[in-house]
Amino acid sequence: MTDVAVLVNLLAAGALFAVGLSCLISKAHLVKLVIGVELLGKGASLVFVLGGYLAGDVGTSQAVVFTLIVIEAVVAAVALALVVLVKRTYLTLDASAVAAKARGGEP
């Protein structure tokens, strides 16, 4: 892989990580938070595979990333199930409104 390809992969991973972080920072919508966590994981996975390639140990890094992807899928499924439960209970997906209603107040 050329230096340009490595740089492009690092930039793509950084972009995924930055978009995921911005989703987490905004804290406006619960589904957006779940998507942000997933994007953070995908960016980290891409960097991990790239590091394994540069170190010459692609097999190990791919095995670890495969495990991470499976764990991320389970976490996403549980998180989205909780989001559905929150929507049914509080009738909103706005994170601040849910927090206010959970404390007993009105948003």
Mean pLDDT of the chain: 92
Domains of the chain with bracketed CATH? 3-102 (1.10.287.3510)
Per-residue pLDDT at 20 exceeds 80: yes
pLDDT at residue 17 in the model: 95
Give the chain as a DSSP string.
--HHHHHHHHHHHHHHHHHHHHHHHH--BHHHHHHHHHHHHHHHHHHHHHHHHHHT-HHHHHHHHHHHHHHHHHHHHHHHHHHHHHHHHHS--BHHHHHHHHTTS--
pLDDT at residue 104 in the model: 84
Structure tokens at 26: 């905004």
Per-residue pLDDT at 2 exceeds 90: no
pLDDT digits (tens, 9 = 90+) for 35-74: 999 999 999 999 999 999 999 999 999 999 999 999 999 9
Please, are residues 43 and 13 in contact by the beta-carbon 8 Å criterion? yes
The length of the chain, given as a count of residues: 107
Q: Tell me the pLDDT band of 107, cut-offs 50, 70 and 90.
A: low
| pTM across the whole model | 0.86
CA dist., res. 25 & res. 76, Å (int): 18
